[in-house]
Amino acid sequence: MPGNDIQTLWPHLLNTDDAGVAIKTLDGRYLFANLGYARFACAELDRITGHTDAEFLAPERVGAVTAAHEEAKIRLDGVNIECAFQTDRGPACYVVTHFPVLDDGRKLVAVGVVAVEAEGALRDHLEAELALKSANQANAQLASEVRNLEELASTDRLTGAWNRRHFETALEAEIHRALRFGHPLSLVMFDIDHFKLVNDNFGHQAGDRVLTEFAACIRSGLRKSDSLTRWGGEEFIVLMPNTPGSAARTAAERFRKMVAAQDFPPFGALTASFGVAQFVEGESIEDLLGRVDAAVYCAKDAGRNRVEVDTTGASLPATAEHVEGHFIKLSWKDSFASGHALIDRQHQGLFDVANEILAAVLSSRPRDEIAEIVERLIADVVQHFKDEEEFLASIGFVELEEHAEEHGRLLDKAQRLSAAFHEDSLGVGELFQFLAYDVVTRHILGADRQYFPYVAGHD
């Protein structure tokens, strides 16, 4: 109901008990309330006048009434809400309108409130709404409890890391992803050196504290895509999707230095021995775990506090090499070629422009120069996606629609991140990660490989 309509009825409403009427100051303190409003509020009049909603309304009703009060002040018009609640007399249902009170100069001076008890079909509707709200709250609470139980079932209680069962499920999924999209996948396994001395000299409670702080130390060095698992005792694993063995080794060396630099009371300094293995197509989970475990033992046999990489498995071609910090230089390999001259030329060109962005970042080029290269990369991606879709349509590629939708999602996000970069609300690192890996490397070496077998004879 508009505020002007209510003000027309104002003289009648003030003198009736059929409707609850009140006037509030702009900060929400009641100047006046009639008996009908006291009935709505379930409070005596002397508890209302001079007080705010929070001082006499039931806590579950305060939020909606206060929000309507504030909205009426902002909109300068009536704001309706529906209130259904239990009283000593049974369920009650009201339609409550907050509206602005203006002086002759149209200046806001107060907020008026009218509360009218609902009847008939409206009452039934409000009671149904209340029942639905209660059911939704119960469902939300149940869902929260289920999530808590799932977390407990998948998490090591001491360290907060994944437990072995959850890790094995995740590893199986990541291997499937690696096989489907051609992504590299690596594991880093590590074991605290001489951990028995902690328990023997300081007790198991101190040992638990060291394990907790050790896990926190490692976790602080993980990427968002990595996950930490407590494999058993003082042994842990980091699962590293989309990561070749060379990059995993660099990460393991970083973890090793972090551990060696930290103090672990009451024991003091600790070290750990690390093993690294990259998944090889055709091997089982047991084979992969066996190789990374053997690498850990090689590290221990070689003197501990070191990183050893498994060399028994056939190496997958590396898609990238570490340059500095978390930045990666993309390296084009002949094995990435599809056999279609235009597409391969465009793919290689995207690698080159991505590396041009990296070079600009590492040489501290001005932000506007980096932005120009970013825009050029996005323009090249747009043209490549267009040419690629035309080619796939010409050969009748059955998954063209899904492929094109993926193009659209990537371009939408690229444009959003680029805009944020231009507005100086996004760092170049996050932008480079998305453009270089999600758009260029992962798409070219993942989704695009699905059509490579159909290229022959269609160049």
Alpha carbon distances (Å) from 37 to 14, 367, 429:
10, 62, 59
Give yes or no for a contact between 222 and 252, defined as CB atoms under 8 angstroms apart.
no
3-class SS at 108? strand
- Distance CA(38)–CA(47), nearest Å, equals 9
Cβ atoms of 118 and 95 within 8 Å: the answer is: yes
Mind telling me the catalytic residues? Answer: 234
Residue 364 burial (10 A CB sphere; 0-12, 13-18, 19+): exposed
Tokens 């230089």, residue located: 329
Q: Are 304 and 323 in contact (CB under 8 A)?
A: no
CA atoms within 13 A on the CB side of 451: 27
Other Cβ atoms less than 10 A from the Cβ of 201: the count is 11
What SS3 class is residue 426? coil
DSSP string, 115-163: EEE--HHHHHHHHHHHHHHHHHHHHHHHHHHHHHHHHHHHB-TTT-SB-
Kind of pairing between the strands at 272-278 and 307-309: parallel
DSSP-derived secondary structure for 293-321: HHHHHHHHHTTSSSEEE--SSPPPPPSEE
The Cα diameter of the chain in Å comes to 94
| Residues with Cβ within 8 Å of residue 150, at least 6 apart in sequence | none
